[in-house]
Chain A
Amino acid sequence: KAGVTQTPRYLIKTRGQQVTLSCSPISGHRSVSWYQQTPGQGLQFLFEYFSETQRNKGNFPGRFSGRQFSNSRSEMNVSTLELGDSALYLCASSPGTPPYEQYFGPGTRLTVT
Chain B
Amino acid sequence: AQSVTQPDIHITVSEGASLELRCNYSYGATPYLFWYVQSPGQGLQLLLKYFSGDTLVQGIKGFEAEFKRSQSSFNLRKPSVHWSDAAEYFCAVGDMGSGNTGKLIFGQGTTLQVKP
Contact = CB atoms under 8 A, between A and B. Distances in A.
B101 A48 contact: yes
B46 interface: yes
A9 B49 CA distance: 28
Interface residues of A, number: 28
B105 interface: yes
By size class, the interface of chain B is: 20 to 34
Nearest to A100: B102
A28 interface: no
A104 B45 contact: yes
B42 A102 contact: no
B94 A99 contact: yes
A56 B99 contact: yes
Interface stretch (A11-19, A68-76, A89-97): A89-97
A94 B102 contact: yes
B60 to A, nearest CB: 13
B49 A101 contact: yes
A98 B32 CA distance: 9
Given A42-B109, A56-B99, A103 B104 contact: no
A56 B108 CA distance: 22
B54 to A, nearest CB: 15
Nearest 10 Cβ contacts at the A-B interface? A43-B106, A104-B43, A104-B44, A56-B101, A99-B51, A99-B32, A100-B102, A106-B43, A55-B101, A48-B102
Interface of B: 32, 34, 36, 41-46, 49, 51, 90, 94-95, 98-109
11 contacts: A31-B101, A42-B106, A43-B106, A43-B109, A45-B104, A50-B102, A92-B102, A99-B51, A101-B32, A104-B44, A107-B42
